[in-house]
Amino acid sequence: MASIAENILQVRGRIAAACRAFDRLPTSVTLLAVSKTCPGVSVREAFAAGERDFGENYVQEALAKIDELADLRGQVRWHLIGPLQSNKAREVATHFDWVHAIDRMKLAQRLSDLRPPELPPLQVCLQVNISGEPSKSGVAPEAALALAHEVAALPRLKLRGLMAIPEPADDPAAQRAPHRALRKLFEAMNAQGLGLDTLSIGMSADLEAAIAEGATCVRIGTAIFGARPAKSVPTS
């Protein structure tokens, strides 16, 4: 089995190739290493291979890992990419640098209220339910623009962009369609002066399609850390 460092080289190669193919600057795409369910030692391996941005889904698991890796604090950025309940808002506002899954104003307001004054604003993305799946979290595309304006006005949050987890699809054209819809929404927001710079789309199976449609942050788990155990992890 390939090592984490070898996997990272391979993923960086895929990102570079996609950037060449779609006429993007390689520096315009950040690799977010999704370390959910991985032990701290795996994060250290990825850190040693140059990774600085790490994505986690489950708040309790992430807090334990952030604590275990406290010596890396200030050198790495922790991103919460999974759904978040309001009762975890204080811990999230205190320990994370980014939250990608804002989907309602009440949650955003709480995070802003609870972000410690000595820290920089919490960097956030709105999660948009771009494929319109009833079971998926995320704000409906029709409601996203209004929410973006409200969130952008909060003092302790910095609205950076949009995030989506489209329905999985096998062929590149089908993969690109929802990514393109998200980019259109992103452009509409910027046309209204929101100044967004982050499109958080693309995972192990579709990072090329996401880069083709303007991804600035690809969230890669399996292709770096290997297959995850079947779901037995708590949901937050």
**Interacting residue ranges for ligand PLP, rule: CB under 6 A:** 34, 36, 57, 81-82, 165, 203-205, 219-223
Q: Which run of H or E residues covers position 220?
A: strand 217-220
The residue written with tokens 């070898």 in the block is 6
> Among residues 34 and 107, whose Cβ is nearest to ligand PLP?
34
Of 76 and 206, CB closest to ligand PLP: 206
In the complex, the smallest distance separating the C-beta of residue 124 from ligand PLP, rounded to whole angstroms, is 14
216 vs 236: CA distance, rounded Å: 26
Nearer to ligand PLP by C-beta: 36 or 183?
36
For residue 86, how far is the Cα from the chain centroid? 19
Query: Rounded distance, CA 115 to CA 112, Å?
Result: 5
Identity of the residue numbered 150: E
* Biggest CA-to-CA distance, the chain: 48
DSSP 28: G
123: left (phi over 0), alpha (psi -120 to 50) or beta: beta
Task: State the nearest-atom distance from the C-beta of 181 to ligand PLP, in Å.
Answer: 17
- Shortest Cβ 44–ligand PLP spacing (Å): 19
* Cβ atoms of 40 and 65 closer than 8 Å: yes
> Element (H or E) spanning 65, and its range?
helix 59-68
Give the shortest CB-230-to-ligand PLP separation in angstroms: 13
For ligand PLP, which is the closer residue by CB, 24 or 36?
36
Q: Which is nearer to ligand PLP, 82 or 141 (CB)?
A: 82
Q: Closest residue (Cβ) to ligand PLP?
A: 221
Minimum separation from the CB atom of position 36 to ligand PLP (A) = 6
